[in-house]
Amino acid sequence: MDFHKNILQIDSKSEVQRICLFLQKHARAMKRDGVVIGLSGGVDSALSAAICVKALGKDNVFGLILPEKESNPVSADYAAKHAKELDIETETVDITPALEAFGTYEKRDKAIQQVFPEYNHECKSKITLPANLLARDAFNFFTLKIEDGKGKVKSARLDKQTLNGIVAATDSKQRTRMMHLYYYAERMNYLVCGTTNKTETIEGFFVKYGDGGVDIEPIGHLYKTQVYQLAEYLGVIREIIERAPSPDTFSFPVSDEEFYFRIPYETLDLLLYAWEHKIPVEEICEVMDLTQEQVKRAVRDFDAKYTATRHLRQLPPALA
Amino acid sequence: MVWQYGRRVFWFGHNEDRRTIMVHVEAVREFVVENFLFGDGVNLKDDTSFLESGIIDSTGILELITFLEETYGIQIEDEELVPENMDSLQNVARFVARKVGVSRAGEPQDS
């Protein structure tokens, strides 16, 4: 297979047409009248909405904006602005009361207080993996970073119990959004449109029955860099295209790279493509100007994440 | 074996070499087999890569770290969490031996 730096370039026009046919086919097959889509203010949901409008018509696309008190305020603003450009109907529902009723913040804070007893509602928090995998090798261990509200930052490596406590509480944000999306979808006889891209799917960067709980994934075959290509083609607003990708889940701002991927998207996607297509290491090194050690490090990381998150991509096992 | 701060801590004097490493290998093997392999350690060799074989994932490494810190009374720094130190039974054993201050012929002491 011919591997080169531009291998991820796609014909935007024909790709959009292909996805539109896909959406039309499955909406018909599932006898649904349209789609509900959660608009996060990020490029994936913005692109997904734009394609859905092209495929199904703007009157059959409903945008749901679901901020909570720790969301970046620009997220809802960008989502609303993009929805206005698409001329689709939207509704904004603040999910903070639902999260508070479930105890999301309380559960998360209790877990954090195992490490930092002083953590309170004035503080901010995030979790990160070791930076820049290609520059320096390290296992995937999570570090908790908190900011005390006055600019002072502290960090500590997490043990399994505390990590699980933080992740379980935080994942309830995405699962709460799923619940809201399905309420509207079922009421309107619509599909819930997913917004997970291929980079995220391969590496398991989505929440089981959270943002992974959807009826259809129109961009699930696109690497992140390809998402940007199509977003440019379809005229997604500049603010969204230029915004640094982020899970927008933690009160302390964190990028996708810091939180999970450890490699910038432009390099990551090419390496993932090479990994997926079993391109020989020597060829990867030559095309991408990387050392064998760097490529092997990346491949090892992909193998580990793909294996560990396999269950996210499968239906629950059952006996025949 | 000695007790330190109420915890069992493995300590060996000078000139413990291959035997020391083997003791650590077996201790870690027991932990890995029990916690990650459901008691079936038949295919776990001393140089089996935990990552490549999928035996230990990212949360698993956290459990291993906790086990090593509590068992050996050591503090493992973030910079030390690299495959060279942690990615097989023998790598872990050598790392632990260095951390508890045991020298092996030809290897520098950990500072």
> Does residue B44 belong to any structural domain of this protein?
yes
> Which residue of chain A comes nearest to B66, CA vs CA?
A159
Q: CB distance from B70 to chain A under 8 Å?
A: no
Q: Which of A132, A139, A307 best tests the B interface by mutation, with the highest count of B CBs <10 A?
A: A139
* Cross-chain Cβ contact B59/A304 below 8 Å: no
For residue B35 the two structure tokens come to 């916690």
Measured between CB atoms, which of B52, B54, B61 is closest to A139?
Answer: B61
Give the CB-side neighbour count of residue A155, counting CA atoms within 13 A: 13
> Does residue B104 belong to any structural domain of this protein?
no
> Does residue B106 belong to any structural domain of this protein?
no
CATH of the domain at B64: 1.10.1200.10
Which residue type sits at A134?
L
* Cross-chain Cβ contact B61/A308 below 8 Å: no
> Which residue of chain A comes nearest to B53, CA vs CA?
A304
Q: Which residues of A touch B (CB under 8 A)?
A: 130, 137-143, 157-160, 163-164, 300, 303-304, 307-308
- Whether A286 and A295 have beta carbons less than 8 Å apart is answered as no
Domains of chain A listed by start with CATH number: 12-101+164-309 (3.40.50.620), 102-163 (no CATH)
DSSP one-letter string for A250-316? SSS---HIIIII-S-HHHHHHHHHHHHTT--HHHHHHHHT--HHHHHHHHHHHHHHHHHTGGGGSPP
Residue A267: CB atoms within 10 Å = 17
Number of structural domains chain B divides into: 1
Stated pTM of the model:
0.90
Measured between CB atoms, which of A138, A163, A308 is closest to B62?
Answer: A163
Return the number of CB contacts < 8 Å for A and B. Answer: 55
Specify the pLDDT at position B105: 44
A143-147/A153-157 β-pairing: antiparallel
> Does residue B17 belong to any structural domain of this protein?
yes
* pLDDT tens figures, A71-90: 999 999 999 999 999 999 99
* Cross-chain Cβ contact B83/A307 below 8 Å: no
**pLDDT tens over chain A, length 320 residues:** 789 999 999 999 999 999 999 999 999 999 999 999 999 999 999 999 999 999 999 999 999 999 999 999 999 999 999 999 999 999 999 999 999 999 999 999 999 999 999 999 999 999 999 999 999 988 899 999 999 999 999 999 999 999 999 999 999 999 999 999 999 999 999 999 999 999 999 999 999 999 999 999 999 999 999 999 999 999 999 999 999 999 999 999 999 999 999 999 999 999 999 999 999 999 999 999 999 999 999 999 999 899 889 999 999 999 99
| Domain housing B67 | 2-99
B55–chain A nearest CA distance, Å: 10
